[in-house]
Amino acid sequence: MSWALLKRLYSRLGSPLDRSSRSALEGQKRAPNKQKGTDGELCAYHYLRHHGYKIVARNYRKRFGEVDLIGWDGDTLAFIEVKTRTDHSRGRPEDAVHRSKQKQICRVAREYRIRNRLQETNFRFDVVSVEVNGPQERVELLKGAFGDQRW
């Protein structure tokens, strides 16, 4: 919902929005995180290409979810989730790929495999952990980080 529409709705209700509410609603507080995620995905893309992956899709989206990267590692199709962190206050990046996120990735992967007639292909789910500390980046690839979560 746009800021202008929210402002009109709140003005009709007689409840003004303060400056902090406005910046949160406009997404200004989340913009750095979004940029951090985009930078992390680009870093992971280059890392995977350097390590022999052939990336065939980036940010593959369906209405029920998204997979950050899809690529071939030899004859195995990998569905890759990228997590980026600048500090450990919320844990390691790979810890953020919780069960509900895994289920969402698996659902998108099933749709991708069916759509592209790849049901008989070997596949796995990888996680790329990107830690940024100033100008330094540490990238770790976790092959087969989780299994197919059907339930």
Q: Looking at the predicted structure, is the pLDDT value of residue 68 above 90?
A: yes
Second CATH level (architecture) for the domain 33-146: 3-Layer(aba) Sandwich (3.40)
Using alpha carbons only, what angle is made at residue 94 by residues 90 and 97, rounded to the nearest 5 degrees? 90
Note the residue count of the chain. Answer: 151
Q: Looking at the predicted structure, is the pLDDT value of residue 69 above 50?
A: yes
What is the mean pLDDT of the segment spanning 96-115? Answer: 92
Question: What is the pLDDT at residue 108?
Answer: 95
Question: What is the pLDDT at residue 119?
Answer: 92
Chain-centre distance of CA 18, in angstroms? 31
Q: Looking at the predicted structure, is the pLDDT value of residue 22 above 50?
A: no
Q: Domain locations in the chain?
A: 33-146
